[in-house]
């Protein structure tokens, strides 16, 4: 295929309280809120997008915060770990920061020769910080106390936990991924060409219970393509393999197609175009409540019943 998957575009997860989620990601982790909008399928809930300054693909973690949602559980058929790249040698800095903010973490460990730190967000979502050389980072967003020598530099890897990896491997190969490493039951996949594309780890855990969706779990992961022409090419290729894939859906900041891979994880393919500056200036991304056209007429009612931030 002439058009290629360029890497991880975004990860979308489920949270409970909106303000607690906002505070954790913008303050503890130092991400920028690049878009404050609503769930396009349920405009009574927020959809937050966090990323680097420009909200570049590969840095975007998004949340649907549903007040009072019951806690989910990690298990097979799910993206179970979301790894961020941080500069090598900064895990002690982050440990201290997490200590100061009562963030739950495990002591640093190593996989594939890289040191990493596991933390849980306030809803129990499992995140990892992995130390990598500076040239592997996507431009970090600088905030007071978190300059580019320590700040997050985009996704390092996403882990899918599966009963059996083989059918999922076939899908990853269709997207252009190749296996590059293995440790016990963890298989690491990478794309050629872009060292900042982000990795996909498959963990084969045949005995593990199925996941339960809910607070603190990943809803779906999205891969990047340049534009809609590339997206449609993948839509056709995936449909030819017998998968049910959605039509192209307009998400305002990108267009999307979705399908469920055979291991049970919801995959999306999203375009780099047009990006988050399409409906507000780059300098003030995330400040105003942005609504898709179909909800503009109900702006007042929608804004009035959204949770207080
Ligand atoms: Zn998405």
pLDDT at 1: 58
Ramachandran region, residue 248 (left: φ > 0; alpha: ψ -120 to 50; beta: rest): beta
What's the gap in Å between 221 CA and the centre of ligand 1? 6
Regions in the chain scoring below 70 on pLDDT: 1-2
Q: How far is the CA of 12 from the centre of ligand 1 (A)?
A: 6
CA of 96 to the centre of ligand 1 (A): 32
37 C-alpha to ligand 1 centroid (Å): 13
Label residues 16-28 b or e (16+ Cβ within 10 Å = b): bbbeebbebbbeb
Task: Give 208 Cα–ligand 1 centroid separation in angstroms.
Answer: 26
The CATH superfamily label for domain 7-305 reads 2,3-Dihydroxybiphenyl 1,2-Dioxygenase, domain 1 (3.10.180.10)
Distance 34 CA to ligand 1 centre (A): 15
Residue 80 CA, chain-centre distance (Å), reads 11
What pLDDT score was predicted for residue 269?
A: 98
Token pair 């730190």 is at which residue? 117
- Measure the CA–CA gap between 258 and 268, rounded to whole angstroms: 4
**Hey, CA dihedral for 44, 307, 140, 29, is it positive or negative?**
negative
Residue 3 pLDDT: 87
- From ligand 1's centre to the CA of 92, what distance in Å? 32
CA of 130 to the centre of ligand 1 (A): 23
pLDDT on residue 5: 97
Whether 38 and 291 have beta carbons less than 8 Å apart is answered as yes
Centre of ligand 1 to C-alpha 10, Å, is 6
pLDDT cut 90: percent of the chain above it: 97
- Cα(39) to centroid(ligand 1), Å: 11
Distance of CA 102 from the midpoint of ligand 1 (Å): 30
> 147: CA distance to ligand 1 center in Å?
28
307 Cα to the center of ligand 1, angstroms:
22
Please tell me the distance between residue 9's alpha carbon and the centre of ligand 1 in angstroms: 8
According to DSSP, residue 145 is labeled T
**Cα 227–chain centre separation:** 19
pLDDT at 30: 98
Cα 48 from Cα 214, distance rounded (Å): 17
Dump pLDDT digits (tens) for 116-142: 999 999 999 999 999 999 999 999 999
Distance from Cα 165 to the centre of ligand 1, integer Å: 23
Ligand 1 center to 285 CA (angstroms): 18
Q: How far is the CA of 193 from the centre of ligand 1 (A)?
A: 24
Q: Is 144 helix (H, G, I), strand (E, B) or coil?
A: coil
């Amino acid at each position: 295929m002439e058009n290629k998957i360029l890497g991880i575009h975004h990860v979308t997860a489920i949270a409970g309280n909106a303000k607690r989620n906002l505070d954790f990601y913008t303050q503890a982790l130092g991400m920028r809120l690049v878009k404050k909008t609503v769930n396009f399928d349920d405009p009574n809930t927020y959809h937050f997008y966090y990323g680097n300054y420009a909200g570049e693909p590969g840095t975007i973690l998004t949340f649907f915060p549903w007040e009072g949602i019951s806690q989910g559980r990690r298990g097979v058929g799910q993206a179970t770990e979301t790894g961020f790249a941080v500069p090598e040698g900064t895990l002690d800095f982050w440990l201290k920061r997490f200590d100061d903010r009562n963030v739950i973490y495990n002591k640093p460990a190593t996989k594939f020769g890289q040191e990493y730190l596991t933390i849980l967000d306030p809803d129990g979502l499992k995140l990892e910080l992995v130390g990598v050389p500076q040239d592997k980072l996507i431009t970090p967003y600088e905030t007071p106390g978190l300059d580019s020598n320590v700040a997050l530099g985009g996704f390092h890897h996403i882990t899918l936990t599966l009963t059996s990896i083989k059918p999922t491997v076939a899908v990853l190969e269709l997207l252009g991924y190749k296996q590059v490493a293995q440790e016990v039951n963890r298989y690491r996949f990478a794309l050629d060409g872009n060292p900042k594309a982000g990795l996909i780890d498959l963990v084969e855990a045949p005995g593990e219970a199925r996941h339960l969706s809910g607070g603190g779990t990943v809803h779906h992961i999205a891969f990047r393509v340049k534009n809609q022409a590339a997206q449609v090419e993948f839509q056709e290729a995936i449909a030819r393999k017998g998968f049910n894939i959605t039509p192209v859906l307009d998400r305002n900041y990108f267009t999307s197609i979705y399908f469920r891979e055979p291991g049970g994880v919801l995959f999306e393919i999203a375009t780099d175009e047009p990006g988050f500056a399409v409906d507000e200036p780059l300098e003030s991304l995330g400040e105003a409540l942005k609504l898709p056209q179909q909800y503009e007429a109900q702006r007042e009612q929608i804004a009035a019943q959204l949770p207080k931030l």
